[in-house]
Amino acid sequence: MDLNRYFSILKSLPEKVRLVAVSKTKSVEEINLLYTHGQRIFGENKAQELKEKYELLPKDIEWHFIGHLQTNKVKYIAPFVSMIHAVDSLPLLAEIDKQAAKHHRTIPCLLQFHIAQEDTKFGLDLEECDTLLRNPQCSIFKHVAIHGVMGMATYTDNTTQIKQEFKTLATIFNHLKSNYYKDKDYFTEISMGMTDDYLLAIEEGSTLVRIGSAIFGTR
């Protein structure tokens, strides 16, 4: 763990940008050490691993689920998860709504967009998203709240391309805000930026950066 890097990242973040410390594959001891230094938001991408860590660690941690979530795994995290970053289908949204209702919760979610020029990454395009949000089923969900958007840029050295992809996500955010969420004060989040590109993401309007290896070391 690189605590100096952690503190220098924290210092570099503008006031409105929050840090999700991505702790996937890392031990509860490592997470607890960062917790003792004040970090409260952690990100994980495996539902069962997240549930086990939740049970062992302090209860004021905000756990963010950041990866692709299968519908049959939602039940493991629904009782406690603070935000689900990567919602990209109506069936997934429906399952989150159903599981959240069981626990009398409303779960904040982000819609994931495919902004990279790589076909391995999950996510919606704008047309698919408009179709999803116009589906009447969507408006009956009472236990999910869409707080914004999430995306991952292409893994490349080409900073012009990365910036362009982040710009695209910011434009999508603005489109959704004005077309669907104008009166929703909580629709505020743009989750973009990781270890290699978070500074570019911040320049383009990120509000949540998801940083793992810079803090915890390589996985």
Ligand X SMILES: *Cc1c(COP(=O)(O)O)cnc(C)c1O
Site residues (vs ligand X, CB under 6 A) = 22, 24, 45, 66-67, 152, 194-195, 210-214
CA dihedral 172, 174, 178, 184 (to 10 degrees): 100
Tokens of 36: 């003792």
Q: Which is nearer to ligand X, 69 or 100 (CB)?
A: 69
CB closer to ligand X out of 164 and 213? 213
Compute φ and ψ for 178, nearest 5 degrees. Answer: -80, -25
Q: How far is the CB of 186 from ligand X (least distance, A)?
A: 21
Alpha-carbon torsion, ordered 156, 174, 62, 71, to 10 deg: -80
* Least Cβ distance, residue 66 to ligand X (angstroms): 4
Q: Which two tokens stand for residue 122?
A: 């999950």
Q: Which residue is nearest to ligand X (CB)?
A: 212
The answer to whether residues 74 and 99 touch, using CB atoms and an 8 Å cutoff, is yes
In whole angstroms, the minimum distance from the beta carbon of 99 to ligand X comes to: 21
Closer by beta carbon to ligand X, 67 or else 205: 67
Is 98 or 163 the residue whose CB approaches ligand X more closely? 163
Shortest Å distance, C-beta 52 to ligand X: 18
Q: How far is the C-alpha of 94 from the C-alpha of 211, rounded, in Å?
A: 29
